[in-house]
Amino acid sequence: MRNAVLSAWDTIGEAIAEVVPVELYLRAYCMIESTPALLAVHLRRSTETEETIARIIAAREGLDVDEDPRPRIAVAAFSGVMRVTGQMWGRGTDQSLEAIRALTEEYLDHLGPALAPHWRDRGRER
């Protein structure tokens, strides 16, 4: 999932620009994040997408997603990182595609350590 999303960030600017100016897309994203009704619809759609991705992963791994929670848990953790990334990017001063790609990569790098045991102790080592 990490590789897929980072690869997508490498070309998303071009894809967006074919439909709308990138700046307009970025402003719309910020508007969705700051408008409760739009955010609710966005989160509902995200939940549906998470379920689809979890089912794809389960099928690839030969798992029954209704019996084994791991695909849903992995997708939920990944999606949570993506939501936090979007929120922090939206609050920042650099709202470029390059900035959100860099932030995405940085935050995804924290996913493994955040799920490791004794994360409070590891945080003090930094």
Domain assignment of residue 122, yes or no = no
Is the pTM of the predicted complex or chain greater than 0.85? no
For residue 99, is pLDDT > 80? yes
φ, ψ of residue 66 in degrees (nearest 5): -85, -15
pLDDT at 118: 62
Domain assignment of residue 125, yes or no = no
The answer to whether 104 and 5 have CB atoms below 8 angstroms apart is yes
The pLDDT tens digits for 45-75 are 999 999 999 999 999 999 999 999 999 999 9
Domain assignment of residue 126, yes or no = no
For residue 123, is pLDDT > 60? no
Q: What is the mean pLDDT of the chain?
A: 84
* Better-scored residue on pLDDT, 89 or 124: 89
Q: Exposed e or buried b for every residue in 39-56, given b needs 16+ CB within 10 A?
A: eeebeeeeeeebeebbbe
Domain assignment of residue 120, yes or no = no
Token pair for 114: 């955040």
13, containing H or E segment: helix 2-19
Say which CATH number the domain at 9 has.
1.10.357
Task: Kindly write down the DSSP assignment for every residue of 18-52, as one continuous string.
Answer: HHS-HHHHHHHHHHHHH-HHHHHHHHHHHHHHHHH
Residue 45: give the domain boundaries: 2-114
Angstrom CA distances, 69 to 13, 56, 58, 73, 78, stand at 34, 13, 9, 6, 14
Domain assignment of residue 124, yes or no = no
Instruction: Give me the number of domains the chain comprises.
Output: 1
Q: What residue ranges in 1-126 does DSSP mark as E strands?
A: none
pLDDT at 48: 96
What sign does the CA torsion over 49, 55, 57, 60 have? negative
